[in-house]
Amino acid sequence: DPRDLFRGEYVELGYDIGRVPARLLEGPPPPANTAFYVTLEKSQDGTWQAVKLTREGPQEASSAERIVLKGRTRSGGRIADANAANAVNFVRYGIERYFVAQGEGPKLEALARDKKLAALIAIDGRGKAAIKGILIDGRLAYAEPFL
C-alpha cells in the first residue's frame, strides 16, 4: 500500500476527468506540469464531463451544472492528431490521494475496483479542489473535518 513518510497510508484515486481530450484545447500541446483550468459539465447520469481546457482562469462563475477545476498536466509534448479519439492530456487536480488510517487502504482500493467508491469534492472560487469526503455505495463513510 502507498505510504507517505509524514502523513501515513493513502489510497490513490483515479478520475475519468484526469484524462481530458486533447481536442478541447486550442493551440499546441502543453508542456508537463503546466497549470490549466478544466471546465466540467454535469451529465444526465450525474457524472461530470470535461468540455473545455484553457490556460486562463475561470471567466464565469460555477453553477450546479458547470464547474471549473484548476489542475496541472502530468505529461506534455506533441500529439500527432489532437482530434483523434484517444489523444488526451493527463491532468492532476490535487485530489488523487486520500489519507486513511493504517490498514484501511486495501479495503478502499477493493471498493474502488468494484466501482463502489466515490469522492465528495469541494471547489473554491479559483478552481482549487479538495477532498471533502469519501462515499461508499452513495453514503458518506469518511469525512474531512475542516471542509
pLDDT digits (tens, 9 = 90+) for 92-142: 999 999 999 889 999 999 999 999 999 999 999 889 999 999 999 999 999
Q: For residue 44, how many C-alpha atoms fall within 13 Å in the half-sphere facing its CB?
A: 0
**pTM of the model as a whole:** 0.83
Percent of the chain clearing pLDDT 90 (strictly above):
46
Q: How confident is the model at residue 76 (pLDDT cuts 50, 70, 90)?
A: low
The answer to whether the beta carbons of residues 29 and 89 sit under 8 Å apart is yes
Q: Can you point out the beta strands (E) in 22-116?
A: 35-42, 48-54, 66-73, 88-92, 97-99
